[in-house]
Chains A and B, each alone.
Chain A
Amino acid sequence: MSKIEIRNIYKIFGPQPNQVLSMVQNGADKEQVLEETGHTVGLDNVSLSIEEGEIFVCMGLSGSGKSTLIRHINRLIDPTAGQVLVNDVDVLSLDDKEILEFRKKTMSMVFQRFGLFPHKTIIENVAYGLEIQEVPEDKRKEIAQGQIDAVGLQGFENQYPAQLSGGMQQRVGLARALATDPQILLMDEAFSALDPLIRSEMQSQLVDLQSKLKKTIVFITHDLDESLKLGDHIGILNGGRLVQVGRPEDIILNPADDYVKAFVKDVNRSKVLRAKTVMTKIDKFDTSGINPSSTYKYDEDTFIEDLIPRVLKNRSTIEVINKAGTTTGYISSEELSEALTQTN
């Protein structure tokens, strides 16, 4: 079973959500519902499964329901209808006590506007989750210190959040979330307040961290490049509806509708597409024209960005090999140009 399973979630904001529900279930869209009833549709029949150990990126424009979706996973918001399963447990069936235990044990969250405690020092902020779990003081100080060092904020332990810049505060939020060593990490636009350099550094750090710790991460962003860089799978929300879920290359190569198309229009394909997706399989490739002296072997997971200079400059052919070292296909300038110019 999947780590997180979301089934047919509806969330309607307003005084009488249940009365509006049937209207939404019958296909009325967000604008219509708002106009006729004054209720806001947060989520409209969203179903997802997120596997253990993957980074699932949820993307969409402002107001599309990303924050609302992520808050259903730790039940900061109760759905109007639908089911949320985490580790095969129905989160909605938990009573008040159980939900506290569940949050302590399984997950932590990074907030869009940081959500730091202004009256606590940085180290106290980072240690908050452990404080709630009643970890002894010196132990939690030690863990918190480790996390502060990891995000590069040593020296700021005894400052207050308001004394730090936005980017630094965001890193405190990240350190706080990691301090409890949760199975699941919910990150609501965790990098949006960072400048481009630190941002890309933090993205790489997250990928590294993920390769070591293998957590399940739900990551929200409205930045396509970020989602392509981080996501094992990407879900795209529009007006509360999930319009497409898939691997990054699926989204680039086969956008489900105009909304997604508009999203991926300007993306740098060479940074997203990998050798194995654009190659011609070995059995279909005419190997007769290959000059062995200008053939280079590349791993199948290489981004084609790295192949372009080789192919274009030296007119060479790329031999794509898999992890075991067997050749699975070839890429020549023909495959490359097709991949880079494909329009849907």
Chain B
Amino acid sequence: MIRKILTYFTFPIFFVWLLVISYNSSKRKPDSVMELFTDLSWLYDWPKWLDIPLMKWINDGFKVFNEKYGIYFEVINDFLLGAILSLKKFLIVLPWPVVIGLVVAVVFFSSGRKIGTTVFVGFCTFFIGFLHPKFWDKAIETTSIMIIGIIICIIIGIPLGIAMSRNNKVRNAILPVLELMQTIPSFCYLIPGIMLFGLGAVPAIIATVIYAVPPLVRLTDLGITLVDTEVIEAAEAFGASPKQKLLGVQLPLALPNIMQGINQCTMMALAMVVIASMIGTRGLGDEVLLGLQQLNVGKATEAGLAIVLLAIVLDRITQAYGKRIQDRNKPPE
């Protein structure tokens, strides 16, 4: 009981302490504290001194942080930038018919040889360039950033999802973080990226990963947890080790869900890369932005359409594969 009261007391104490600090550090405070009691005008308009100096703290802290660890971020920056650039260069060097051919081939095999889907996706790909020749390279640029972002998502997200499914403590620790990540407006994710890496493609990747990883983590966890307990028991009854169980039974059976996670991850990554055009990430997004700034509705719409086409292509590719696995696990009645 007493302990409870004490814990409740810490909150007002902490609050008062914050007030005192902000008052002391403020440059616009009245000459003496006594003035606050004689002149009550500060109660009507929000007083200038009642301002927690969070901005200053963060800037100071960040400076120290950057001096100490900046070198590591530079390494990461160089690495990611290198990865994006080489992927982009590779895709741009290829003649565009070859790229379309590649996309068609990937769709054809991943969808289990469905002709309809394949032809449809082929046309969508073609139309990206057909809308405006400039869009082809831009789309490749956007895709390169996304692919690198998705790869990082997979490297982080799937193991995290597996860890969650195995241990309730880990799940309880990670779930609130995921919830927080999904409630924050996507635009805010650009902040940490800019702070650490400045402008350009790398902060876009960081933002993409933070924004797009939660559904993948959740769906991996869900997929593994949903595997029929009796099937797991069967594996255990034959003496399967935890590793054999995971790789041989749980992951394959969770794969449709994981693929859906990757699909969602892809769509969210695309949304983020488009938004990231505001911090100078090049790609289809900056065409939209440019169109809007010049009040050129046609241009903005054309670029928007290109983004939709790109979204369709990526969605079909990731969806088709997941669907095929699902069909195998539950064949038609």
Contacts and interface: CB of A to CB of B under 8 A. Distances in A.
B234 interface: yes
Contacts of B238: 103-104, 108, 128-129, 132, 180
Q: Please report whether the interface of chain A is mostly helix, strand, loop or mixed according to DSSP.
A: mixed
B176 to A, nearest CB: 22
Nearest to B241: A100
A102 B237 CA distance: 10
Interface stretch (B37-45, B101-109, B112-120, B325-333): B325-333
A163 B331 contact: yes
A280 interface: no
Nearest to A173: B234
Interface size classification for chain B:
20 to 34
B174 to A, nearest CB: 22
Nearest to B229: A115
20 contacts: A74-B237, A76-B236, A103-B239, A104-B239, A108-B237, A109-B233, A111-B233, A113-B230, A115-B228, A115-B230, A116-B234, A117-B231, A117-B249, A118-B231, A118-B329, A128-B234, A132-B244, A160-B328, A160-B329, A160-B331
A103 B244 CA distance: 14
B97 to A, nearest CB: 37
B234 A111 contact: yes
Interface string B238-280: 1111001000110011000000000000000000000000000
Contacts of B249: 117
A76 B240 contact: no
Contacts of A180: 238
Interface in A38-69: none
Interface in A228-280: none
A119 to B, nearest CB: 5
Contact of B236 (A103, A119, A163): A103
A132 B240 CA distance: 6
A115 B231 contact: yes
Contacts of B234: 109, 111, 115-117, 128
A116 B238 CA distance: 12
B229 to A, nearest CB: 9
Interface of A: 71, 74, 76, 100-105, 107-109, 111-119, 128-129, 131-133, 160, 162-163, 180, 186
B326 to A, nearest CB: 11
State the 4 A-B residue pairs at the shortest beta-carbon distance, nearest first: A104-B239, A115-B234, A103-B239, A115-B230
Contacts of A113: 228, 230
A207 B140 CA distance: 68
A192 B228 CA distance: 19
Nearest to B237: A109
Nearest to A74: B237
B239 A76 contact: no
Given A111-B230, A116-B231, A119-B328, A101 B239 contact: yes
Contacts of B252: 119
B330 A118 contact: yes
Contacts of B236: 76, 103
Contact of A162 (B233, B235, B240, B331): B331
Contacts of B329: 118-119, 160, 162
Given A117-B249, A160-B328, A160-B331, A100 B230 contact: no
B253 A103 contact: no
A104 B230 CA distance: 18
B157 to A, nearest CB: 22
